[in-house]
Structure 1
Amino acid sequence: MPMTYCSFARLLAAAVIVSTAATAWAVDGTRLKELLVGTAQTSPLSGLQVSLLRGGESAESFALGFAQRGDLGEVPLRRDHKVRIASISKLVVAIGAMQLVDAGQLDLDADVSKYLGWTLRNPAAPDIPVTPRQLLSHTSSVRDGSAYFIAAGTGELRDFFTPGSPYWEDGGHFAGAPGQAPGEYFYYSNLNFGLLGTVIERLSGERFDQFMAKHVIDPMGLNARFDPCEVPAEQRAAAFRKGEVAGSWTAGAEWLTQVDGDQPSCFYGMQDPAFAEDFLAEYRLGSNATLYSPQGGLRASADDLVIVLKMLVNRGALNGKRIVSAESVDAMLAPSWTLNAQRSNGLSSGEAEPGGPTDGLMTSYGLSVHRIDMRAWGFERGPKLLVGHLGEAYGVLSHALINPETGDGIATIITGSAESPASAPPGSSPLYRIEEEVLRWWLEAAL
């Protein structure tokens, strides 16, 4: 169904702006509306949620665009719609891991093998243990290979690291180059969080998604879940591209649902509800937490993400509750890895090929916390340092970032773009141009 001027007008009218009582003036959302319909530098968006933090308190919140499309038309995107937020999920998982640290169950510098119940060793560095700290900071020497999840009923997590298994890939899930042994080299890898999710299961005795709901998500007051089937259908927002087939963009095509449409898959490899029920009833804890997408599968809203940021600003406390210790928050935000002057101790382009426009995207990292030098990114105004996390998957682009000195922050979820965001003319930063434009709006309009 083609998008008409009238339908876009309805979507613009559906934008939601909320100010806290403590805010003396409202942020102007006009620029966000312009970005929704497309600009000379950026293509149109399917939907956009933005929620702001000011001085450690929730401030304005915006929702524009549509959440679902179908025969009955578009469903306007609301603030309470939940989107698959991609890699910001890692930040939330890290909070769960740090709870286990606080409880004395997890030692960040121990050999992770003792928590997994089997030996994890890089064949290129067989005498060097992999630690939970290295998993959280992407310095473990673990690599994604061609895949970083194993579907239900097809294997277990350890198969990635077992010679001769169908998932071994000739050792492709380990770094083999000199200087990339555990603890030596930063390389962003989703599989680190499949390992962490599995450790969480074995230490807690709870299924990963259920542990996260009980101990992290619900205590923070988030209306979020790792299981999309637990999100009410009326609150579920899909991810989109304009394309002919899922996973790619096609010029002149219509908006195409990428994930979380009418019939979401509850967990990886569990499209059939009957199979899912039987499989989960027999699932062995700690065998394969990649099923639950700990690296990127949390369904949440921008408002939810601002609550997470608020907790970090308050050093682990939220609404009178202690979510995680102040010491654990400090450890998360502090640099665990920093790119050296020779640029020889890590890959700074994230998941993209080195030498491209995203070089410089990752130059300092904490425990599942991205540390951004805003001056190096070309932002001359505003904070020098932002901390938080970025996300990209299924057409979604997301970020949740705070100024740790002032408690100001922004959470953004872009549900999809009409064209590949990489096709837009670059700005000053390694971000996609649309992400950069949202950040510039925040710095100019909100701060």
Structure 2
Amino acid sequence: MNKYLISLALIVFISACEKQEIVVDVSTQDSVLKIIEAEKNIQSLNSVSFAVVKGDELVWADAIGKATDNLLATIDTRFLIASISKSVTAIAAMKLAEENALDLDTDINTYLTFAVRNPNFPNKPITTRMLLNHSSSISDAHYGTFDFYCWNQDCAVPLDVFLKDFFDSNGKFYSTRTFYNDPPGEKGNYSNMGYALLGYVVEKVANQPFDEYCKENIFIPLGMQSTEWRLNNTPLNELATPYSPTITPSAPHYTFPDYPNGGIRSTPSDMSKFVRMLINNGTFNGNQVVTANTIDEIKFRPFPITRGGLRFDLGLGFYFYDVKGTILFGHGGGEQGTSTSMFYSLETGVGVVVFSNTSNANLDLILYALYKYGTEQ
């Protein structure tokens, strides 16, 4: 299954959460682990790794199951986090916006070295805000007809070259199918390629490679020492094997040239620092990554998206959804051999990060049980 289909399947899956709150025994860590073990066995999950936070504190981190054929998962095991990466890309863009280096409502062509226009609406500019809230009218349909995966290495093609080939009208991958027949800014449609383009906007405005900008301005200030965009910078002995029928066991790790939409590898504990920054209005451990005003702005939800008759509400790089009767804010992810969730409550300040090196896993009950445990601490 390609990345486009995985993303849509995950969105529909997350949106299908039960609307009625359920009762689970979360009185002790052992009782929560029983729920996680049961879900692991029912779904044949290879491993489950998680972190629970409350306010600025790490409440609990643990891991069960196998990271590889020979190693058990630990709290230090790194996973490909897939579309949760979009939240990091969004914060990178928002940081530049609050520094007045990037105008969210200016035509992105102001910043790019090639022109991007929906050919159905050639006089309607696409803005950075539209990329952030998935209203850019950029479709993943054409992307989904290709296999751009690079195995056991970072893709050699630079981000700018790949995107120019895809969006420039003279590019070798260009197609009108890359655009919806909706005017930019008027309808929400989840877009992986829109977020790849957002990463390139950040790269151009910051005048440095996108991955380096994120490391210097997000990962290092937050103390996220086990988080990388690049596979070449990630110790392979710390990586969970992504288990999937589509993956060759001897060469299981992969990247893609549009990496700002899903290429981060990290641990739940490291990503919990990112969540705690969000919970604490842009600041963690004395370091301010973005302002409180920016945290407020990412929660604005102009466009609901409906998939398979189910609705969820997008903010800027994050979304709201109802899991077992509780409204949480964050992002999920899914790729070949990985399923991930990163959500927190705006009301309680409790957040949960859960990763599994298994395709198409339903992490909702695990997420909910860990969240309820966090609320009682």
TM normalised by structure 2 equals 0.83
| CA deviation profile, 1:252-303 (whole Å, cap 9, x unmatched) | xxxx47742xxxx5x54xxxxxxxxxxxxxxxxxxxxxx3611000000111
Change (3 A) 1:257 1:93: farther
Match runs of 1:96-135 below 5 Å: 96-135=92-131
SS in 1 for 2:243: strand
Q: Which of 213, 237, 260 in structure 2 is aligned with 1:234? A: 237
Whether contact under 8 Å (1:238, 1:257) holds in the other structure is no
Whether contact under 8 Å (2:52, 2:371) holds in the other structure is no
Whether contact under 8 Å (2:354, 2:367) holds in the other structure is no
Q: Which moved more, 1:78-87 or 1:326-335?
A: 326-335
Match runs of 1:152-231 below 5 Å: 152-153=156-157, 155-169=161-175, 171-176=176-181, 180-222=182-224, 223-231=226-234
Highest Rg: 1 or 2? 1
| CA deviation profile, 1:388-437 (whole Å, cap 9, x unmatched) | 001000121111000011101111101115xxx4xxxxxxxxxx6x3222
Distance, in Å, in 2 between the alignment partners of 1:26 and 1:409 is 16
Distance, in Å, in 1 between the alignment partners of 2:260 and 2:250 is 22
Question: Which residue of structure 2 aligns with residue 366 of structure 1?
Answer: 315
Distance, in Å, in 2 between the alignment partners of 1:214 and 1:259 is 29
Question: Which residue of structure 2 aligns with residue 303 of structure 1?
Answer: 269
Gaps in structure 2 of 5+ consecutive residues: 1-26, 150-154
Determine which structure has greater relative contact order: mean sequence separation of CA pairs < 8 Å that are 6+ residues apart, divided by chain length.
2
Whether contact under 8 Å (1:88, 1:400) holds in the other structure is yes
Distance, in Å, in 2 between the alignment partners of 1:140 and 1:51 is 33
Q: Which of 80, 91, 95 in structure 2 is aligned with 1:95? A: 91
Letter in 1 for 2:141: G
Gaps in structure 1 of 5+ consecutive residues: 1-23, 248-255, 269-290, 340-345, 350-354, 422-431
| CA deviation profile, 1:373-392 (whole Å, cap 9, x unmatched) | x2xx5x24xx4x21000100
Whether contact under 8 Å (1:239, 1:394) holds in the other structure is yes
| CA deviation profile, 1:295-324 (whole Å, cap 9, x unmatched) | 000000111121111000101011111111
Q: CA RMSD in A?
A: 2.3
Q: Percent identity?
A: 27
Distance, in Å, in 2 between the alignment partners of 1:237 and 1:162 is 37
Letter in 1 for 2:369: W
SS in 2 for 1:93: helix
Distance, in Å, in 1 between the alignment partners of 2:365 and 2:358 is 15
Question: Which residue of structure 2 aligns with residue 32 of structure 1?
Answer: 36
Letter in 1 for 2:204: R
Whether contact under 8 Å (1:53, 1:306) holds in the other structure is yes
Letter in 2 for 1:314: N
Whether contact under 8 Å (1:209, 1:292) holds in the other structure is no
Letter in 2 for 1:390: G
Matched, 1:442 2:370: yes
Whether contact under 8 Å (1:238, 1:258) holds in the other structure is no
Distance, in Å, in 2 between the alignment partners of 1:392 and 1:238 is 14
Whether contact under 8 Å (1:370, 1:390) holds in the other structure is no
Change (3 A) 1:296 1:405: same
Q: What displacement does 1:62 show?
A: 1.7
Match runs of 1:20-99 below 5 Å: 26=29, 28=31, 29-36=33-40, 38-39=41-42, 43-69=43-69, 74-99=70-95
Q: What displacement does 1:444 show?
A: 4.8
Matched, 1:317 2:318: no
Matched, 1:138 2:87: no
| CA deviation profile, 1:22-50 (whole Å, cap 9, x unmatched) | xx9646312112222x22xxx21111111
Question: Which residue of structure 1 aligns with residue 152 of structure 2?
Answer: none
Question: Which residue of structure 1 aligns with residue 13 of structure 2?
Answer: none
Distance, in Å, in 1 between the alignment partners of 2:56 and 2:157 is 44
Matched, 1:331 2:297: yes
Q: What displacement does 1:99 show?
A: 1.2
| Structure that is richer in helix per residue | 2
